[in-house]
Structure 1
Amino acid sequence: MINTEWYSIRTLTLPATAVALLITFFIVWLILRLQFSKKWSELYSDAIFTFIIVWKLSLLVTDFKTVVNNPITLLYFNGGTMGVLLGVIVASLQIWRKRQSLQLEEQEMIAGSWAIILTQSIYQMLAVLFNDNNISSEVITLAVLSVVTLVILWRLVAVKQALILYTISYLIVAIFQPLGIGQTAVAVSVILLCLGLTIQHERINVGGKK
């Protein structure tokens, strides 16, 4: 979705997409905290912190000269699309590195998938509600992702299939959005799918050897 609105929090002005992302992080963290073991909410919050830090500091990579000349720009700007992708990749690698500390029970496998799917789904829905884009694309996004997310949360499909189902659904939805299939969120969705499938595959292999 294209950002069309800005929100002010005292002296800080944030785009609607950033506000949607921050609210999403809190909601998903709260769900993990209430529904699953404490370690999942801690792992999620650590990954989010890593994402934000890398995203902000990525300006050193994308516009090093400006940062050197005016370091305070790090407070107000970020690395844009490149920064988002770097943040997601580093946060995903952090989660993958800590995978050995996670339980292999089915309940814990569901927690990981929920975190990946809900983060994307809630963000997309809030981005629609907080901005003013094409009505048809907004309706399609809300309708499709709502139905798919409910199907997944009701556990009507297995964990691995849930990750694939959501990603495919979002790719289809993205076609009807203003920025199309080439938007950053699509690349993020694919990265998170790979993270989820990698962890699930490893768990299944380890579980099968027990």
Structure 2
Amino acid sequence: MQLLQFGTFTIPLHWVLALLSLVGGWLLTSVYVKHHQMKKESLEMIINALFVIGVVWKFSIVVFDFDTVKAHVSSVLYFTGGTKGFFLGLFVSFLYLYRQAKKKKIYKQLSETLLLFGTAGYGLYLFLHAITQGENLFIILSFVFTTTLFIVWLWDRNALDRLPKKAGLIFIVYAMIFQLPNELTLAEWSLAIIFPLCAILLSNNLLVKENV
């Protein structure tokens, strides 16, 4: 694990890359929502869901390592729930998104913003990760080209019925082609699977009927 040193404070490099990727995904999706005159609620839900993941992941150590917390209460401040806590956070955040989408009846809008946010953010993460790992220029350019192509493809809102197909292709490329050969953590790899699958579920017209 690569670490960045700031005086006496150290932080994992992949945390910094993840933060930059989330900011990049948020900026692009904000432009998308404004350009298409969509409600901002879907983007706000995604940001809230990310906050839920962080909180659950951080404090899930109480669930998965209660003995340590019982012996040293301050460990809650310094440790997390690990991989188990991260997946628990993903599960809870999805329940939050599904509940909010059902309550506000914006399944399709949420699914398209989630897919764009995830595609842009994950693509940027792959790009930054490749640079920091010293990958060759061909690999770096392939991430840039593929992500740009996906973003252009997703920008068109005139065919929302094809969104599950688009999400399926993004899933195949990001998860099956790009990630299987790479040495990323299980949590990093799982994101390539989860965000398109969530978009497919939320946009499934057979399960949900709503007017867009």
Q: TM-score range by the shorter chain?
A: 0.7 to 0.9
Mapped contact 2:54–2:89 kept (Cα < 8 A): yes
Mapped contact 2:21–2:121 kept (Cα < 8 A): yes
Mapped contact 1:55–1:87 kept (Cα < 8 A): yes
Aligned length: 199
Q: Percent identity?
A: 22
Q: State TM-score, norm by structure 1.
A: 0.79
- Whether 2:183 is the aligned partner of 1:178: answer yes
Match of 2:143 among 145, 151, 154: 145
Give the ranges of 4+ consecutive aligned residues of structure 1 lying more than 6 Å apart after TM superposition.
none
Task: Name the CA distance, whole Å, in 2 between partners of 1:10 and 1:38.
Answer: 39
Give the secondary-structure state (helix, strand or coil) at the position aligned to 1:186.
Answer: helix
> Any unmatched runs of 5+ in structure 1?
none
Mapped contact 1:25–1:48 kept (Cα < 8 A): no
Which residue of 2 is the match for residue 128 of structure 1? 130
Task: Name the CA distance, whole Å, in 2 between partners of 1:49 and 1:86.
Answer: 13
Task: Name the CA distance, whole Å, in 2 between partners of 1:63 and 1:108.
Answer: 35
Give the secondary-structure state (helix, strand or coil) at the position aligned to 2:11.
Answer: strand
Q: State TM-score, norm by structure 2.
A: 0.78
Mapped contact 1:16–1:127 kept (Cα < 8 A): no
Q: Structure 1 residue 62: deviation in Å?
A: 2.5
Mapped contact 1:85–1:188 kept (Cα < 8 A): no
Task: Name the CA distance, whole Å, in 2 between partners of 1:120 and 1:176.
Answer: 16
Q: Structure 1 residue 202: deviation in Å?
A: 4.1
Q: Structure 1 residue 148: deviation in Å?
A: 2.6
Mapped contact 1:102–1:108 kept (Cα < 8 A): no
Q: Which aligned pairs between 1:27-106 and structure 2 lie closer than 5 A?
A: 27-36=24-33, 37-100=39-102, 101-103=104-106
Q: Structure 1 residue 207: deviation in Å?
A: 4.1
Which residue of 1 is the match for residue 193 of structure 2? 190
Task: Name the CA distance, whole Å, in 1 between partners of 2:181 and 2:126.
Answer: 13
Q: Structure 1 residue 186: deviation in Å?
A: 2.8
Q: Structure 1 residue 82: deviation in Å?
A: 1.3
Residues 127 and 77 (structure 1 numbering): CA distance in 2 closer, same or farther, change over 3 Å?
farther
Give the secondary-structure state (helix, strand or coil) at the position aligned to 1:14.
Answer: strand
Which residue of 2 is the match for residue 118 of structure 1? 120
Q: Structure 1 residue 47: deviation in Å?
A: 0.8
Give the secondary-structure state (helix, strand or coil) at the position aligned to 2:153.
Answer: coil
Mapped contact 1:92–1:192 kept (Cα < 8 A): no
Task: Name the CA distance, whole Å, in 1 between partners of 2:56 and 2:49.
Answer: 11
Q: Structure 1 residue 199: deviation in Å?
A: 0.5
Residues 13-68 of structure 1 deviation map (CA, whole Å, 9 limit, x = unaligned):
21011111122222222223333132233112211110100111121222211111
Paired AA for residue 59 in structure 1: I
Give the secondary-structure state (helix, strand or coil) at the position aligned to 1:13.
Answer: strand
Paired AA for residue 178 in structure 2: V
Paired AA for residue 163 in structure 2: V
Worse overlay, 83-92 or 198-207: 198-207
Residues 70 and 195 (structure 1 numbering): CA distance in 2 closer, same or farther, change over 3 Å?
same
> Any unmatched runs of 5+ in structure 2?
34-38, 157-161
